[in-house]
Amino acid sequence: MSNRAVNVRGVSRLFGKTLALDNVDLGIDSGEFVALLGRSGSGKSTLLRTLAGLDAPSAGSVHVPDERMVVFQEPRLLPWKTAIQNVELGLRGERAADHARSAMAEVGLEHRLHAYPATLSGGEAQRAALARALVRDPKLLLLDEPFAALDALTRMRMHALIESLWKRHHLSVLLITHDVDEAILLADRALVLDKGRIIASVSIDLPRPRELSHPGFLNLRKQLLSAIGVDIQAPTFDAADPQGAPDSTLLPRSIVMA
Amino acid sequence: MQISAPALLDVPTAKPMVAPQRRRSTQWLRVLSPPVLLVLWQIGCSTGFISSRTLAAPSQVISSFIALTADGALQHHLLVSLGRVAKGMSIALLLGGGLALLSGLSRTGEYVIDAPMQMLRTLPVLALIPFFIIWFGIGEVPKVALVAVAAIFPIYLTLYSGIRGVDPKLVELAKVIGLSRGALIRHVILPGALPTALVGVRYSLGISWLILVAAEQVNATSGIGYLMNDARDFMRIDIMVVGLLIYALLGLAVDILVRWLERRLLAWRPSFVNAAA
């Protein structure tokens, strides 16, 4: 129990009559990187918001460290404050400014300290959002599809950045994504959420830094995709379940880009 | 909740889409048209085509302007009017701003304040003049009060809707990083509401002058409105035109002031950021 960063037991969440989370159990060890996969509407974001304290479960117990931070899909920087002011916002103590500065340096933004968010690129804005989370020394970092809106090259750089920050700061990370490759590249363990239940848990023990060309990759991808319900060989659309149409972002990148 | 000043919403002024060649050949007309009108006006007056009881000649207006400035009368009246607007606007900013904060930031405040404000704002302020004379007499108070009442509503409405329009995602973020309620209001809600609220300030300033013209016709002994009223009694049409000109210039000055404020306070906005780059 002592090295558990997150312990979720029997958590359910009802929105009206819809069950967004259905008796979910989730443990994340301290320093563990967990990816949470699932289709749109599977309850991923609800689970993350529960862990972030932004949403209260209808039932069950949630134990999370107080020192937790969220990076959302949108950077959510205050447009009227410069990048460094955004990072510093709400910090107390004499050394706050120094901490903010070094967090900005860590994400490679020391040259954009005084830029307004409107002038930052998508990747820069997301790195500033990361710096804002890091400067608060979180034990748990919750990432809600933080790379989804970035272009492919920026996303690759962000993957490397996240991995190095995770190692250096001994963070526990929960990464929500619907990109299977992203999960395999980064996570120690990938969970698949469907209709509010965790239906698969796959450990990923490929050596780091990971390469898409590693022979183990294809197997893991197959495993995860079939757990999500996407068949690579013959994508089928279940006529009875229009919600079940495969999401193009779930397809392996090699197929999408070819 | 509709703000009653859609035309004032701050859209960066777009350049008219006119083909460049056509524009070059006709744009001198634009520069020439006002002086030509002025000359026609002067000729009309000098030849007696326009009666001096209808309109004063531009030359006469200019000489009256110089005379009024030379003996300090114009400056005196102008300062008095400016003082009334400044007092009225200060009250409106404090009261309108305060009420908007209360009803924008709390549900209870909204229930108590918003409904009466929405009802009162439909009252034509000029219809209040007789009431204000009964309540406040005929001194300075009713004049300042009229300006204040007229200016409160745009400030209240725009600040209130600005506060309510702040991106809830930013408010959620403030919660994530553990901002206190005070810090949330100071760093997130007020700056987020500012662009909308400034539209209200600009609108209020415009209305202030409008109301002042009427208010200064009620038993005033000073102010631009009094100057014009007094001139009317003596059929000094030239001075009346000077008064009109002053009002027009003041309107323009107020607009310039608010635009300058916007540029200072909203420097972070993409339109300004790009213009500066």
Domain spans in chain A, listed from the N-terminal domain onward: 4-67+138-257
Q: Distance (Å, rounded) from C-alpha B257 to C-alpha A142?
A: 46
**What pLDDT, on a 0 to 100 scale, did the predictor assign at position B217?**
80
Alpha helix stretches (DSSP H) within chain B: 20-46, 58-70, 73-105, 107-109, 115-120, 129-136, 140-164, 168-176, 181-183, 190-215, 224-233, 237-265, 270-276
CA A59, B107, B100: angle at the middle one, nearest 5? 145
Residues B143, B147, B149, B150, CA torsion sign: positive
Measured between CB atoms, which of B169, B178, B179 is closest to A74? B169
Measured between CB atoms, which of B178, B191, B273 is closest to A90? B178
Name the stretches of chain B with pLDDT < 50: 1-14, 277
Structural contact between residues B114 and B160, judged by C-beta atoms closer than 8 angstroms: yes
Token readout for B172 is 């959620």
Q: Does domain B58-276 match CATH 3.90.480.20?
A: no
Which chain B residues contact residue A89 at CB under 8 A? 177, 179, 183, 187
Token readout for B66 is 């110089």
Across chain A, what does the average pLDDT equal? 85
**What pLDDT, on a 0 to 100 scale, did the predictor assign at position A251?**
45
- Phi and psi angles of residue A101, each rounded to the nearest 5 degrees, phi first: -60, -45
B110 burial (CB, 10 Å; 0-12 / 13-18 / 19+) is middle
Report the C-alpha dihedral over residues B39, B42, B48, B52, rounded to 10 degrees: 150
Of B220, B110, B143, B157, the residue nearest B3 (C-alpha): B157
Chain B: residue nearest A92 by CA? B179
CA B114, B118, B122: angle at the middle one, nearest 5? 160
Domain range list for chain B: 58-276
**What pLDDT, on a 0 to 100 scale, did the predictor assign at position A94?**
84
pLDDT tens-digit readout, B128-157: 888 988 999 888 899 999 999 999 999 999
B169 touches chain A (CB under 8 A): yes
Report the C-alpha dihedral over residues B123, B156, B265, B276, rounded to 10 degrees: -60
Provide the residue-wise pLDDT of chain A in tens; the chain has 258 residues. Answer: 457 888 889 889 998 888 888 888 988 999 899 999 988 888 888 999 999 999 988 998 889 888 999 999 999 999 999 999 999 998 888 888 898 999 999 888 899 999 999 999 988 999 999 999 999 989 999 999 999 888 888 888 889 899 999 999 899 999 999 888 999 999 999 999 988 889 888 888 888 888 888 888 888 888 888 888 876 554 445 444 445 444 444 444 444 433
Pairing of strands A68-71, A172-176: unpaired
Give me the CATH topology for the region A4-67+138-257: Rossmann fold (3.40.50)
Which chain B residues contact residue A90 at CB under 8 A? 174, 177-180, 183, 187
Strands (E), A147-256: 172-176, 189-194, 197-203
Q: Distance (Å, rounded) from C-alpha A35 to C-alpha A221?
A: 13
Q: Quick count: other Cβ atoms within 10 Å of Cβ A135?
A: 23
CA distance A218 to chain B (A): 37
B32 burial (CB, 10 Å; 0-12 / 13-18 / 19+) is exposed
Prediction pTM value: 0.77
CA distances from B203 to B4, B126, B208, B269 (A): 10, 17, 9, 21
